Amino acid sequence: MRAVVMHAPRDVRVEDVADATLQKPTDAVIRLAATCICGSDLWPYRGTDEVSEPLHMGHEYAGTVEEVGAEVRDIKVGDFVIGSFFASDNTCEICRAGYQTSCIHREVLGTSGGAQAERMRVPLADGTLVATPGQPDADLLPSLLAASDVLGTGWFGAVAAEAGPGKTVAVVGDGAVGLCAVLAAKQLGAERIIISSRHADRQALAREFGATDVLEERGEDFIAAVGGLTDGLGAHCAVEAVGTHESMHQAIGATRAGGHVGFVGVLHDVAITGDDIFMTHVHLHGGPAPVRRFLPELIQLVWDRTIDPGKVFDLTLPLDQAAEGYRAMNERRATKVLLTI
């Protein structure tokens, strides 16, 4: 089967690899309908994360179940399914508390073949996959695929930030996750949603998703501008959707005492000191989004056409042109690239 393999930073190839197969009785194998390139795929692409061996890329997926292991009970061959980037049993105490990405049996997707491929193995199929109510219309595919990661991640960021009615929410990061956090905050009932963005197309999508204020300021200027919009108090909530030291401090700084910061950007070189969190009185919560917690609700919202997170995909390419997709995202020519199979 065809699959995307990263051999070194900036060296992405589409190659023939061994076909995905069932390895455990709790596995399923799915045929991808579509996959995509994640902002976090750019960390190794840019050399920030080491590429010590060829990486089978991709962890976002939607597709049709072709095989199930002997112990799979709920997921059936022929189901159209979406899953999260970590496999989870969805039955352990940690999963039941809503933290499936810390499941005691979790497995990172992609360890034996990533999602940027024609087929993929999904471990712990019953705990990981959620089937759609039926076979989806083609136009729903981008939004269903978005639920696999960027929507679920932005949603978790907004939930971790306790976005809700009457709240002012600041979103740091205008990538696909930040934009989905805007959408999530809106759905959760936030009164005011402020995002920092300097890209006209992202600004427009942010407003379409529910942003009430689009600021061009960054860093301390952003913090001051949010203060100016909130009687000097700061936002009730902030979602950090980048993962750098600067963005984390921007999110903390924009939040009022007693407020909540939800962080979902994969943290790189971040150092938080006592001064950052002691006198600021913020709540900090985040990490790899437990997308599985939210998938049933998110799939239904997409299915009912209440939300359209698939709009974050602004470039669609066939799988064989994945290398161009990586280049486009790296050069910020695209926010989020969908790969058709």
Q: Does 84 bind a second copy (CB under 8 A)?
A: no
Q: Select from 53, 278, 304, 306 the one that contacts a second copy (CB under 8 A).
A: 278
Q: Does 228 bind a second copy (CB under 8 A)?
A: no
Which residue, 74 or 246, has its beta carbon nearer to a second copy?
246
Name which of 167, 182, 134, 183 is nearest 303 in CA terms.
Answer: 134
Q: Six-digit token pair at 327? A: 């280049």
Which residue, 161 or 184, has its beta carbon nearer to a second copy?
161
Q: Select from 99, 209, 294, 313 the one that contacts a second copy (CB under 8 A).
A: 99
Q: Is 151 exposed, middle or buried (0-12, 13-18, 19+ CB in 10 A)?
A: buried
Q: In the complex, what is the shortest distance from the CB of residue 270 to a second copy, in angstroms, rounded to a whole number?
A: 4
Q: Does 16 bind a second copy (CB under 8 A)?
A: no
Q: How far apart are the first and last CA of the chain?
A: 11
Q: In the complex, what is the shortest distance from the CB of residue 339 to a second copy, in angstroms, rounded to a whole number?
A: 27
Q: In the complex, what is the shortest distance from the CB of residue 131 to a second copy, in angstroms, rounded to a whole number?
A: 26
Return d(Cα 302, Cα 83) in angstroms, integer.
15
Q: What is the 3-state secondary structure (H, E, C) of 100-162?
A: HHHCCCCEECECCECCCECEEEECCHHHHEEECCCCCCHHHHHHHHHHCCHHHHHHHHHHHCC
Which residue, 270 or 317, has its beta carbon nearer to a second copy?
270
Number of residues that bind a second copy (CB under 8 A): 38
Return d(Cα 160, Cα 287) in angstroms, integer.
10
Q: Does 102 bind a second copy (CB under 8 A)?
A: yes
Q: Does 281 bind a second copy (CB under 8 A)?
A: yes
121 near 38, Cβ under 8 Å?
Answer: no
Q: Which of residues 243-272 bind a second copy (CB under 8 A)?
A: 243, 256-258, 263, 266-272
Return d(Cα 289, Cα 286) in angstroms, integer.
7
Write out the residues near a second copy by the rule CB under 8 A: 93-94, 97-99, 101-102, 104, 231-233, 243, 256-258, 263, 266-275, 277-288
